[in-house]
Amino acid sequence: MEEEVKGVKLYGMWASIFAKRVEMALKMKGIPYEYVEEDLVNKSEKLLNYNPVYKKVPVLVHHEKPISESLIILEYIDENWKHPPLLLPEVPFQRAKVRFWANFVNQQVFPSVRAIHVLEGEEQEKVTQELYEKLKVLEEGVEKDFFSSVAGTVFCGGATAGLIDILLWSIFGLHEAAEEACGVKIIDPQSNRLLFKLVTSLNDLPVAKEVLPPHEGFVAILKHIRAKALQSPKA
């Protein structure tokens, strides 16, 4: 184990939800790593060399071999360090289900959440309603696929958090800060009971408390992003 974790570095940024996904996974699995904070305005030469295509965080470097894109990194972590907790199930059909809902979260849910932060008025209201509809589909789907047949299920990953849990936590773990920044209710304990319960349970994990950005700092950076987007001329 000690030999396996030598030379593990994570290039991230304190408010990047994508980097937080990787930090969460590394800490859950107990993998020691060196964290390198990046200034995304003045990106380091190492980051640009490690990720020349997208030029962004996160990048996981293992024995000087870089891996980019948070979902790919999470799967790499699970495949390279096979000890529990597992981020994906061992049964191929269950793994396929996890990948399906992970793609739904990344391709459907997250873009709506992101759009809410940079819109206002009727446009923001429209996207918010679209998000609520997508969350309904998500909750019904993950409840059927992960909670209906296994006793003692706490997370989508079972008794321990898995890939989908990490994705949902990265997007909604600081939902109160996001709601404060954009002025819109993103998740509700009554309308989104399963998601709210999941996020609350995940935020209670010691590793999550280590990784979550500070509330006030996250509010400030979201407000900055929002103000900059709203001031930009529309095409």
- Please list the ranges in the chain whose pLDDT falls under 70: 1-6, 149-152, 234-235
Q: Are 163 and 128 part of one and the same domain?
A: yes
Residue 3 has a pLDDT of 45
Residue 154 has a pLDDT of 85
What is the 8-class DSSP label of residue 233?
P
CB pairs under 8 A, 24+ apart, for 148-154?
154/201
For residue 42, being part of any structural domain is answered with yes
Residue with tokens 């937080």: 20
β-pairing, 34-37 with 59-62?
unpaired
For residue 101, being part of any structural domain is answered with yes
Residue 153 has a pLDDT of 75
Domain extent, residue 222, equals: 92-231
Dist. CA 156–CA 164, nearest whole Å: 6
Residue 1 has a pLDDT of 44
What is the 8-class DSSP label of residue 11?
E
For residue 168, being part of any structural domain is answered with yes
Q: Are 203 and 99 part of one and the same domain?
A: yes
Which pTM was predicted? 0.94
Q: Are 167 and 201 part of one and the same domain?
A: yes
Q: Domain count for the chain, please give it.
A: 2
CATH number of the domain that residue 139 is part of: 1.20.1050.10
For residue 132, being part of any structural domain is answered with yes
Q: Are 26 and 111 part of one and the same domain?
A: no
Residue with tokens 């008025």: 121
Q: Are 53 and 145 part of one and the same domain?
A: no
For residue 87, being part of any structural domain is answered with no
For residue 131, being part of any structural domain is answered with yes
Q: Are 45 and 137 part of one and the same domain?
A: no
Query: Domain end: 40, 55, 80, which one?
Result: 80
Residue 156 has a pLDDT of 93
For residue 53, being part of any structural domain is answered with yes
Q: Are 74 and 100 part of one and the same domain?
A: no
Q: Are 106 and 126 part of one and the same domain?
A: yes
pLDDT digits (tens, 9 = 90+) for 117-138: 999 999 999 999 999 999 999 9
